[in-house]
């Protein structure tokens, strides 16, 4: 951060030099950033202790990739697919699907798995150690990328052109499970899932994810609540999905009829509550229901729309939300 400020906030790849200074001239600035870190982690530990004392566990999200302009890449460029000039050779993303015709071009630098393996995955081991210290449960984002990752040439404008490349996730998670035998992990196994991903998930023993909103577009979907295995974490929808109310309103008539039939919706039951009930009645190890769905909030309650910027992560549950305690009390009666 000292060097970043010295270079006007530019990415580290645009600095005059890439290496750390052998001698820092301004120790007061160093102390400032050290104090900021100290304050954050002190406050975080107090918050976590408070939540745990109330019987609440905190799930932390661990993205598979890190930003190019990060301390991670700056300090250890040997673990990433970069040229000698620190320009990415290949970048991350996912191919086109029914939700995104151009795919998703994330642009993160990809790992050099063979280099990480030779170093006994020390970079990932340290990262997991830190995550397990900060959170009660760690959700691994884009778990399928540890089986095979989608590789796109740097400079491409979309994710249409790319290829799947095998990763060494089995060796990595064998090590992680040995080092952290009591850690609680959720594998976000969504997207293009093949037999190799399923095999990796089975090997780790981690619960995967099921999204009820995905379960009613085709027969015998793995996301259909009645088909959930016990070793999974079930959601009505995640932070990337519509709220249950918005989702139900968006369904074509034929799909809506199929949904209502499969969940045995009551005559006076709201669609959002029928979806919630189907998740709670499933065999899933844990059911996670967004508060927006419990409160039957529509489009205004959506947290994030993938591949868009500007209006995401802004929704907040206000302390003075109208009659919230009364609503929650009535909801508990419904689901009890």
Between 271-280 and 253-262, two packed helices, what is the crossing angle to 10 degrees? 40
Residues 112, 78: contact at Cβ < 8 Å?
yes
Looking at residue 309, its pLDDT comes to 81
Q: Which CATH number fits domain 57-206: 1.10.287.130, 3.20.20.80, 3.40.47.40, 3.30.420.10?
A: 3.20.20.80
24-63: per-residue pLDDT in tens? 566 678 888 999 999 999 999 999 999 999 999 999 999 9
| Known active-site residue 25 | no
Domain boundary assignment for the chain:
1-19+26-56, 57-206, 210-336
Kindly list the distances between the CA atom of residue 187 and the CA atoms of 93, 159, 203, 210, 226, in Å, as whole numbers in the listed order: 18, 24, 12, 10, 20
Residues 70, 13: contact at Cβ < 8 Å?
no
59-69: per-residue pLDDT in tens? 999 999 999 99
One of 69, 72, 89, 141 is an active-site residue; which one?
141
294-313: per-residue pLDDT in tens? 999 999 999 999 878 888 99
Report the distance separating Cα 20 and Cα 109, nearest Å: 21
Q: Find the largest Cα–Cα distance for the chain.
A: 73
Question: What pTM did the predictor assign?
Answer: 0.89
Report the distance separating Cα 1 and Cα 6, nearest Å: 8
One of 156, 240, 269, 281 is an active-site residue; which one?
240
Grade residue 208 by pLDDT with cuts at 50, 70 and 90.
very high
Q: Identify which of 151, 155, 154 has the alpha carbon closest to the alpha carbon of residue 163.
A: 151
Name the 3-class secondary structure at 47: helix
77-111: per-residue pLDDT in tens? 999 999 988 999 999 999 998 778 999 999 999 99
66-85: per-residue pLDDT in tens? 999 999 999 999 999 999 88
Report the distance separating Cα 239 and Cα 80, nearest Å: 29
244-290: per-residue pLDDT in tens? 999 999 999 999 999 999 999 999 999 999 999 999 999 999 999 99
Looking at residue 335, its pLDDT comes to 66
What percentage of the chain exceeds 70 in pLDDT? 92
Asked whether the predicted pLDDT for residue 325 surpasses 50, the reply is yes
DSSP state of 302: -
132-176: per-residue pLDDT in tens? 999 999 999 999 999 999 999 999 999 999 999 999 999 999 999
| Known active-site residue 153 | no
DSSP state of 149: E
If you compute the radius of gyration of the chain from its CA atoms, what whole number of angstroms results?
Answer: 22
Looking at residue 99, its pLDDT comes to 73
Q: What are the beta bridge partners of residue 187?
A: 140
Two tokens, residue 18 = 């890439």
Neighbours of 71 (CB within 10 A): 12
Report the distance separating Cα 92 and Cα 291, nearest Å: 32
DSSP state of 60: E
Phi, psi dihedral angles at 8 (to 5 degrees): 70, 25
Neighbours of 131 (CB within 10 A): 19
| Known active-site residue 141 | yes
Q: What are the beta bridge partners of residue 209?
A: 233
Report the distance separating Cα 2 and Cα 258, nearest Å: 58
């Amino acid at each position: 951060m000292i060097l970043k400020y010295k270079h006007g906030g530019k990415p580290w790849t645009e600095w005059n030099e890439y290496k750390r200074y052998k001698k820092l001239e301004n120790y007061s600035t160093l102390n400032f950033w050290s104090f900021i870190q100290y304050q954050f982690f002190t406050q975080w530990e107090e918050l976590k202790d408070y939540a745990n004392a109330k019987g609440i566990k905190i799930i932390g999200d661990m993205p598979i990739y890190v930003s190019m302009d990060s301390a991670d890449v700056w300090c250890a460029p040997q673990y990433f697919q970069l040229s000698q000039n620190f320009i990415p050779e290949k970048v991350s993303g996912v191919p086109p699907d029914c939700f995104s015709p151009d795919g998703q071009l994330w642009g993160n630098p990809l790992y050099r798995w063979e280099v990480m393996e030779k170093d006994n995955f020390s970079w990932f081991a340290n990262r997991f150690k830190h995550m397990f210290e900060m959170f009660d449960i760690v959700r691994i984002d884009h778990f399928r990328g540890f089986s095979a990752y989608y590789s796109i040439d740097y400079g491409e404008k979309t994710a249409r052109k790319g290829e799947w490349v095998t990763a060494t996730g089995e060796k990595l998670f064998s090590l992680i499970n040995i080092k952290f035998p009591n850690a609680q992990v959720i594998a976000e196994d969504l997207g293009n899932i093949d037999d190799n991903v399923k095999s990796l998930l089975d090997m780790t023993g981690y619960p995967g994810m099921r999204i009820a909103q995905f379960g009613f577009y085709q027969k015998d979907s793995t996301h259909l609540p009645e088909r959930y295995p016990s070793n999974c974490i079930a959601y009505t929808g995640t932070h990337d999905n519509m709220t249950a109310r918005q989702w139900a309103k968006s369904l074509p008539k034929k799909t809506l009829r199929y949904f209502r039939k499969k969940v045995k919706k009551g005559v006076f039951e709201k669609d959002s509550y029928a979806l919630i009930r189907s998740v709670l009645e499933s065999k899933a190890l844990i059911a996670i229901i967004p508060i927006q769905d419990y409160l039957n909030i529509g489009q205004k309650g959506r947290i994030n729309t993938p591949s868009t910027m500007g209006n995401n992560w802004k929704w907040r549950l206000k302390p003075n939300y109208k009659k919230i305690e009364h609503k929650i009390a009535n909801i508990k009666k419904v689901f009890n």
